[in-house]
Structure 1
C-alpha cells in the first residue's frame, strides 16, 4: 500500500493461559464460571476440537511461535530444566512475531515466556512489558516490586489449606505444592497484575503512543497451572463436596502402558483419594474463574478504548491439565485429551458469525500462519501448520477434502528422561504410538474417557492399521526423525498381530 493509505489490517490480542483444560469452558463441561470466555464464544467462534502439538510448556510455546511441530524446532522439553535438549530456539527459525514486527505491527508482550533460557520476547520482535516469575524466566521484577509496594511481598504471606503430593498431603517439607488459599487481595495476584499491564498496553495503543501501525499484544497468564493458589472469593467459590470427579477417575490401568500407573507414584498422588482430589479440583476451578475475570477486565478495556471492532481476540492455552483425570496430577507421557485438548475461542467482529462453532480439528500452532494471514504477510515454507482464516470467514465452509480430518501430536519426555510418543486423532479414534511400551487405541465415541485400550482387540485390526498408516504418512510429510525406524516397527507389529 502507499505510505499515505491507512493501514486497515486488524489488531490482534492473544490471551494464552497455562495448563487450562478444554472442558471448563465447554457448554457441557464442569460448573466452573467462565463468563469472559463464554462471551468470546457467543460473540465469535469456539473450536470444539483444538489440540496442542505437545503437552509440555516450552515445546508447545515454541511451536506456537514457529508454526512447527516440536521435532521441527527441536525444543523437545522444558528449557529451564537441567536436562533441556535445546535450551534456546535456533536463530534461523522464522517466527510469526518477528515477521509481524518486520511488517508494521507494534508487538507487545506481558507475562509468562518460557521459550528460551537465554532469550526473551524481545529476541523475537516483541516489546516486553513485564510480569515474569522467577521459576520459569526471571526476566522482570515488576510484579515483585508491585507486591513490595503494597506491603505483601511475594513468598512472605501465610497460606492456608495447603495441599501437597506425597505421603502426608499437609506436609510442605516434601512433595509438590498442589493448592492453597492465599490471604492477599485479588488486586495482589499475578493474574490481576498481568491484566492491568495488558490494559495499560491497550490504552497506549489506543492513544497512539506506540508505532502507527496495527498492534499485536500477547498476554500470557501464569495459570491455572499448579500450584492452584487463589484468594477469596475464588478459594471457596466451589465446594469440594459438590465436585464431581471426571469419568476417567475410574481408571484401572488394565492394558495401559506401565508408565501410566508408575506416574501416580512419580507425581506423588498414588495416595490421593476422592476427597483430596475434590479439594484440588475446586481450587483449580477457582483459579480458572480468577483468570477469566481478568480476561473480562481486558475485554471491557477494549470496549472502553474503542478498540473492540478493529481487534481480533484469541483465547487459547498451551496445553491442558489432568487435575484428577485418570487419577493423575500435572501432565506427562499420557496422551489423553485431558492435557492435549485445549480451549480455543476467536472473536473477529464483522468477519465471524457470532456464536459459531467449528468441529474441524485444529492445532495450537495453526495460530502462527493465522496471524500472518490476518496481517497480509506471507507464511514461511518452514511452517508446518495451516491458517485458520478459511474456517473463520464466510461461515467456515471449507470442503472436507481440503481441511484434514485428523490431528497429530507428540511427546518426548520431561524430567524423568526421553519417552518417545506419537499420536493421531480423528473425531472417532485415537491411536498412540509408545516407543517403550504397548501402543494405545481408543474409540472416542463409545469411550470418551479413554479407559479401554483396544490396541489388541481383533475387531479393531483394520482401524489400528489405518491409524498407523496415517501416522507414518504424517511422519514422512513432516520429516519426523523417527520415520526411519518407526514404520518398520509398526509393520512388524502388524505382521505379528496377523
Structure 2
C-alpha cells in the first residue's frame, strides 16, 4: 500500500551539459539509465539555471530565490557565509512536514551553512571518500592541473561515484521497511573537472570519434574581451581540436560512469520495493564549456553550454511516460517550490519559482515565453551579467562590456554577436525592455538609474 506522500530521490550532478545525454540527441554518448529515466517520466528540454556557477545555483535550489536575493553571488569559499539573511528552504519545509532527510556528496563550500543546518539528520560528506580510499590502500585521487586524465590504479568499483552510489543504496535498504517518507539527496561532484576517470571509461570515447562543438574556433570578434582572455588565463590559447578531443573524451567517459552508478541506484530503488512511491529527480547546477568556444569550466559567459541543464522527473502514477516538455523552466527556483508541493508542505511566500506540477501531470504548461539567468563577477573582479533567453533570441547584458545578441535558429553555436547591427536595433531595444521587466519582478538590486538608462533608453553600445 502506498504512503499518502511520496518519497523523493534527488540526484544533483555538477556541470552536466544539457546536450550530453542520449535522450537529448547526443549521437554516441552512452547514458542508457538516464535515457530510461527520461523515457519513464518527463524530460524538460528547456531548463535553465538561475546562475551558471555552483554556489549561487545550489543556494537558489535550497532557498527558492534568485542569487540577488539570497546573496550567495559567488562560490562560497570566496564569500562570507551565505545566505546572509534568514531565508526559508525547501529541506526545512519538508522536515517540518515529517520527512526524514539524508544528504550525500558535495555541499556548498567551506563557508556555507551545513546540511545539518537545513534539517538533514543523516549526512555523508564527499570528503569521506578520501578517508575510505586511504583505508583501502589506494593512492590519492588525482586533483588540480592537469584537469583531465586517468585515475590510475583503481577500478570503476573503487571510484568516488561508485562509493557515493553505495552510500545511497545503503540508505535505500534502510528505508525499505517504510515509516515516514524520505528525501534522499545525492550530489556527486562529477562531471565537474578535474575529470580523472578510471579505465575503461577513461578511453571509452577515442578522440577520433569526437567532432568539434559547433562553437569551436570562435574568433570572439565583437565580443567582450574577457572571453578571449579566458583562454589565455587557462593556458588554452591556440589549442587545436586535436588537443581538446581527448579531454572531451574524459568528460564523456565520466558521464557514462555516472550514468552506470545512477542505474545501480535506480535498480536498488526497485529491489527495495520503493520505486512505485518515489519521485526521482535528476538534474545539475549548471553546464560546462568543455572545449566549446575553446573554453574550459564556466565563468564570464552565458552560452547554452553553461546555462542550460538536464532535468528529468519520474513520479509513478502522475507523470506520463516519455513526455518531453518544452516549457521554459527556471530549474532551481521551480524545483524548490515543486518539492514542497509534492511533499504537501507549505510553500514559503518568499519562493520565486513556479510550480512544475501541471507540466508533470501533462495538464498544461507554465506559459513562460522567456527566462532569466544572472552572473556576478566579483569572484574574478569582473562585471555582472544578466541573460534573457527567448525561443529565437538571446540577449546578454554585460555591465561594463559589449552586450551580446544571438539569433539561435540561424546561429546555434552563438558565434555571431548581432548587438551592434543596425537592423537589429528594434530587437535589441525590445529585449532590453523585457530584461528590465524581469529585473523589477525578481527584485534585482542592479535595477538602478544607470542600468535603467542602458536598458530603457538604449544608452549603451
Q: Structure 2 length as normaliser, TM-score?
A: 0.95
- For the residues of structure 2 that align with 1:414 and 1:132, how far apart are their CA atoms? 27
Q: Answer yes or no: is 1:276 the counterpart of 2:243.
A: yes
The number of aligned residues is 457
Structure-to-structure mapping, 1:10-89, within 5 angstroms: 10-25=6-21, 26-81=23-78, 84=79, 86-89=80-83
- For the residues of structure 2 that align with 1:108 and 1:489, how far apart are their CA atoms? 46
Q: Answer yes or no: is 1:149 the counterpart of 2:123.
A: no
The verdict on how the C-alpha distance between 1:38 and 1:6 changes in structure 2, with shifts beyond 3 A counting, is closer
Aligned to 2:155, which of 179, 185, 189? 185
Partner-residue secondary structure (3-state), 1:493: coil
Structure-to-structure mapping, 1:235-274, within 5 angstroms: 235-274=202-241
Report Cα offsets for 1:86-138 as digits up to 9, x if no partner: 333236100000010011011111000015615211110112431423xxxxx
Aligned to 2:360, which of 361, 378, 392? 392
- For the residues of structure 2 that align with 1:340 and 1:91, how far apart are their CA atoms? 26
Shift of residue 338, structure 1, vs aligned partner: 0.4
Q: Answer yes or no: is 1:417 the counterpart of 2:414.
A: no
Aligned to 2:116: 122
Q: Answer yes or no: is 1:315 the counterpart of 2:282.
A: yes
Shift of residue 436, structure 1, vs aligned partner: 1.1
Partner-residue secondary structure (3-state), 1:409: strand
- For the residues of structure 1 that align with 2:324 and 2:276, how far apart are their CA atoms? 20
Report Cα offsets for 1:10-68 as digits up to 9, x if no partner: 11111010011000114322421111110111101111101111111111100000011
Q: Answer yes or no: is 1:443 the counterpart of 2:440.
A: no
- For the residues of structure 1 that align with 2:341 and 2:6, how far apart are their CA atoms? 11
Partner-residue secondary structure (3-state), 1:482: coil
Aligned to 1:368: 336
Partner-residue secondary structure (3-state), 2:270: helix
- For the residues of structure 1 that align with 2:378 and 2:285, how far apart are their CA atoms? 16
Shift of residue 418, structure 1, vs aligned partner: 3.7
The verdict on how the C-alpha distance between 1:189 and 1:247 changes in structure 2, with shifts beyond 3 A counting, is same
Partner-residue secondary structure (3-state), 2:188: strand
Aligned to 2:321, which of 333, 337, 354? 354
Preserved contact between residue 332 and residue 414 of structure 1 (Cα < 8 Å): no
- For the residues of structure 1 that align with 2:359 and 2:326, how far apart are their CA atoms? 10
Preserved contact between residue 429 and residue 458 of structure 2 (Cα < 8 Å): no
Q: Structure 1 segments of 4 or more deviating over 6 A? A: none
Preserved contact between residue 429 and residue 456 of structure 2 (Cα < 8 Å): no
Shift of residue 149, structure 1, vs aligned partner: 2.4
Which range is displaced more, 326-335 or 413-422?
A: 413-422
Shift of residue 201, structure 1, vs aligned partner: 1.0
Preserved contact between residue 429 and residue 442 of structure 1 (Cα < 8 Å): yes
- For the residues of structure 1 that align with 2:2 and 2:239, how far apart are their CA atoms? 59
The verdict on how the C-alpha distance between 1:284 and 1:131 changes in structure 2, with shifts beyond 3 A counting, is same
Preserved contact between residue 16 and residue 309 of structure 2 (Cα < 8 Å): yes
The verdict on how the C-alpha distance between 1:217 and 1:46 changes in structure 2, with shifts beyond 3 A counting, is same
Aligned to 1:471: 435
- For the residues of structure 2 that align with 1:266 and 1:18, how far apart are their CA atoms? 22
- The answer for unaligned runs of 5 or more in structure 1 is 134-141, 160-171
- For the residues of structure 2 that align with 1:362 and 1:256, how far apart are their CA atoms? 27
- For the residues of structure 2 that align with 1:276 and 1:379, how far apart are their CA atoms? 49
Aligned to 2:367, which of 403, 419, 426? 403
Which range is displaced more, 102-111 or 121-130?
A: 121-130
Shift of residue 378, structure 1, vs aligned partner: 1.9
- For the residues of structure 2 that align with 1:236 and 1:6, how far apart are their CA atoms? 44
Shift of residue 80, structure 1, vs aligned partner: 1.3
Aligned to 2:174: 204
Report Cα offsets for 1:444-483 as digits up to 9, x if no partner: 1111110111111222222111111111011111110010
- For the residues of structure 2 that align with 1:112 and 1:77, how far apart are their CA atoms? 16
Partner-residue secondary structure (3-state), 2:260: helix
Q: Answer yes or no: is 1:176 the counterpart of 2:145.
A: yes
